[in-house]
């Protein structure tokens, strides 16, 4: 790799003006002698979050020359072998020799994981106490798997999701005023836009007529770059993969069984093994496109025996990719609540009692604590719907011994009193702006 080219890339990046960006809530905390990675779905804002980190450094008095940012989606770097990555810090210190081992230098690498064997270079950089390394990437292997193992426990990952509702209204300059009448009206209007538009920041300033097509383009790029190109050894059956995608997206918030999906595909003349379908699903999980949740149980045997439910990284993305009329509003609302729970670092599962009463989410704090039961409904105005949701929460709470229960709706707010407990009902626009589940 030519040093002059790398010096040009480094200087060009340092000379670019930093854009005005909406502040994201994800905190970046470095651990000594460890790299920090920002991982998440493609186009969710990882690169911009690293730019915000640059802005924070500059505001704290760090000089721009002490930040070396390299984007590996640069066409001049896509074929660089891992054996030549050391040329990056060589080029940097040829520009600023006075900083070596005297000043802290921050290296920011976007999508470096696309270079096979890159992990050793990160370990090499971390061996110097004056280096700080920030990585962004669209693969969950930075969280677990062989990449995390190759970094020998020297990487601290953080997960960035598409914009939360709080970040969404911040972008549009709307105050989180849940008390005044005017504030509530504005938040209801913003929620309608949020449900329709989703949280991918690239859509915020785009014409609404182009949103669906943009989201479909995002999905196609995820499939191509983060699944097919990321796994050339898999020789992916495109027809079977696309059929799996349609079956999964059509089932957002619903029971999902690979065995039943395989049966449906076979009836349509699409032949594929169940092992391949499980592998394709794992590839989509790795790329942060989809997630599945299990039945809530301490028993692995029980969890395995029950079906899973599938959710998309963004409800508007699922709506755009699904065939026909897309995903109905209730399931988009449920997907939205799921994403928010994951953003708040909850482990999420579902529960169904022996008598058939099901609650959408069992949310358990990763930091420890008792689980909460959360039911999602578009509206509980109809008595039969209200009775169904309350009965499911009561029976499931008794089944699990849970105390905290909640119904999240589009716009209903009340407290329902039963013989055994009170059940709060909260509009989603207010719940999304609360601090806890």
Q: pLDDT tens, position by position, for the chain (437 residues)? A: 688 999 999 999 999 999 999 999 999 999 989 999 999 999 999 999 999 999 999 999 999 999 999 999 888 888 889 999 999 999 999 999 999 999 999 999 998 988 888 999 999 999 999 999 999 988 766 655 555 566 778 888 899 999 999 999 999 999 999 999 999 999 999 999 999 999 999 999 899 999 999 999 999 999 999 999 989 999 999 999 999 999 999 999 999 999 999 999 999 999 999 999 999 999 999 999 999 999 999 899 999 999 999 999 999 999 999 998 899 999 999 999 999 999 999 999 999 988 888 999 999 998 888 899 999 999 999 999 999 999 999 999 998 999 999 999 999 999 999 888 899 999 999 999 997 66
Q: Among 175, 205, 235, which residue terminates a domain?
A: 205
User: Are 265 and 228 in the same domain?
Assistant: yes
Measure the CA–CA gap between 352 and 330, rounded to whole angstroms. Answer: 19
User: Are 333 and 318 in the same domain?
Assistant: no
Q: 139-170: per-residue pLDDT in tens?
A: 766 655 555 566 778 888 899 999 999 999 99
Query: How many domains does the chain fold into?
Result: 4
User: Are 261 and 296 in the same domain?
Assistant: yes
Longest dimension (CA), the chain: 76
**What's the pLDDT score for residue 143?**
58
**What's the pLDDT score for residue 344?**
96
> CA triplet 296, 301, 306: central angle to 5 degrees?
55
Q: 192-205: per-residue pLDDT in tens?
A: 999 999 999 999 98
Number of Cβ atoms within 10 Å of the Cβ of 330: 15
Measure the CA–CA gap between 380 and 259, rounded to whole angstroms. Answer: 34
User: Are 30 and 40 in the same domain?
Assistant: yes
> Domain of 318: which CATH number?
1.10.10.10
User: Are 26 and 143 in the same domain?
Assistant: yes
Q: What does each C-alpha distance from 196 to 106, 201, 328 come to in angstroms? A: 39, 13, 11
Say which DSSP state 354 is in. Answer: T
Q: Among 160, 179, 194, which residue terminates a domain?
A: 160
Dihedral angle, C-alpha 156, 160, 164, 168, nearest 10 °: 120
Name 362's Cβ contacts closer than 8 Å, sequence gap at least 6.
Answer: 296, 348, 349, 350, 351, 371, 372, 373, 374, 400, 402
> Domain of 120: which CATH number?
3.40.50.300
User: Are 402 and 316 in the same domain?
Assistant: no
User: Which stretches of 304-413 are assigned E, i.e. beta strand?
Assistant: 308-312, 346-352, 358-365, 372-376, 404-409
Q: Which domain holds residue 74?
A: 3-160
User: Are 351 and 436 in the same domain?
Assistant: yes
Structure tokens at 435: 């601090």
> Domain of 381: which CATH number?
3.40.1350
User: Are 358 and 229 in the same domain?
Assistant: no
User: Are 426 and 332 in the same domain?
Assistant: yes
Look at residue 247 and give its three-state secondary structure.
helix
User: Are 174 and 322 in the same domain?
Assistant: no
Q: Among 105, 131, 160, which residue terminates a domain?
A: 160
Closest CA to 346 of 371, 363, 370, 368: 363
Sign of the CA dihedral 124, 126, 128, 131? positive
User: Are 33 and 151 in the same domain?
Assistant: yes
User: Are 186 and 254 in the same domain?
Assistant: no
Closest CA to 214 of 331, 321, 329: 321
Measure the CA–CA gap between 2 and 177, rounded to whole angstroms. Answer: 54
């Amino acid at each position: 790799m030519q040093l002059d080219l790398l010096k040009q890339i480094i200087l060009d990046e340092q000379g670019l003006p930093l854009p005005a960006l909406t502040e994201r809530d994800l905190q970046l905390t470095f651990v000594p002698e460890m790299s920090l990675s920002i991982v998440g779905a493609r186009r969710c804002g990882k690169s911009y979050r690293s730019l915000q980190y640059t802005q924070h450094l500059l505001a704290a008095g760090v000089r721009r020359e002490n930040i070396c940012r390299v984007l590996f989606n640069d066409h001049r770097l896509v074929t660089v072998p891992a054996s030549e990555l050391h040329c990056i810090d060589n080029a940097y210190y040829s520009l600023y020799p006075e900083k070596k081992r005297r000043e802290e230098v921050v290296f920011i690498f976007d999508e470096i994981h696309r270079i096979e064997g890159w992990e050793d270079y990160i370990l090499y950089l971390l061996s110097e106490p004056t280096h700080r390394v920030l990585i962004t990437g669209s693969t969950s292997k930075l969280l677990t798997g062989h990449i995390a193992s190759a970094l020998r426990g020297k990487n601290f990952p953080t997960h960035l999701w598409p914009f939360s509702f709080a970040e969404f209204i911040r972008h549009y300059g709307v105050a989180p005023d849940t008390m005044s009448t005017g504030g509530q009206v504005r938040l209801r209007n913003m929620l309608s836009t949020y449900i329709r538009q989703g949280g991918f920041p690239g859509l915020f300033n785009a014409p609404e007529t182009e949103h669906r097509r943009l989201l479909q383009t995002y999905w196609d790029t995820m499939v191509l770059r983060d699944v097919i190109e990321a796994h050339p050894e898999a020789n992916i059956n495109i027809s079977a993969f696309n059929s799996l995608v349609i079956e999964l997206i059509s089932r957002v918030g619903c029971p999902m069984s690979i065995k039943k999906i395989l049966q449906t595909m076979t009836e349509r003349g699409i032949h594929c093994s169940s092992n391949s379908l499980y592998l394709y699903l794992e590839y989509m999980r790795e790329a942060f496109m989809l997630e599945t949740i299990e039945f809530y149980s301490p028993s692995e045997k029980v969890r395995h025996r029950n079906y899973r439910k599938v959710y998309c990284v963004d409800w508007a993305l699922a709506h755009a990719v699904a065939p026909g009329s897309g995903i109905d509003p209730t399931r988009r609302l449920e997907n939205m609540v799921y994403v928010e729970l994951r953003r708040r670092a909850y482990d999420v599962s579902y529960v169904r009692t022996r008598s058939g009463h099901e609650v959408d989410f069992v949310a358990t704090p990763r930091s420890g604590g008792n689980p909460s039961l959360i039911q999602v409904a578009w509206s509980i105005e109809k008595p039969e719907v209200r009775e169904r949701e309350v009965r499911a929460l009561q029976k499931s709470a008794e089944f699990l011994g849970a105390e905290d229960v909640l119904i999240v709706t589009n716009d209903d707010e009340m407290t329902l009193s039963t013989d055994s407990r009170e059940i709060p009902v909260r509009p989603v626009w207010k719940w999304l702006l609360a601090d806890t589940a």
